[in-house]
Amino acid sequence: MASFGKQVPRQRIADPADIAAAYLVLADPLSINLSGATIAVVGGGRI
């Protein structure tokens, strides 16, 4: 798993706090106009 983390620009794999931050963005009332969006938590890498 450590070698996989070296393949993305942030040099580490996502941890639960990274996923939680994306969730909080979606749960915020200010993001009411986000619909059908895909938010990829990939550390700057490409899927």
Domains of the chain by residue range: 1-47
Each residue's pLDDT tens digit in the chain (47 positions)?
566 556 667 777 778 898 899 889 888 999 888 887 778 777 666 65
Burial (0-12, 13-18, 19+ Cβ within 10 Å), 42: middle
Backbone angles phi, psi at 17, to 5 degrees: -65, -35
Question: What is the per-residue pLDDT for 29?
Answer: 93
Q: Are 38 and 29 contacting, i.e. CB atoms less than 8 angstroms apart?
A: no
* Alpha carbon 22 to its chain's center: 6
Dist CA 10 CA 2 (whole Å): 12
Tracing tokens 């798993």 back to the chain, one arrives at 1
Which pLDDT value is given to residue 13? 74
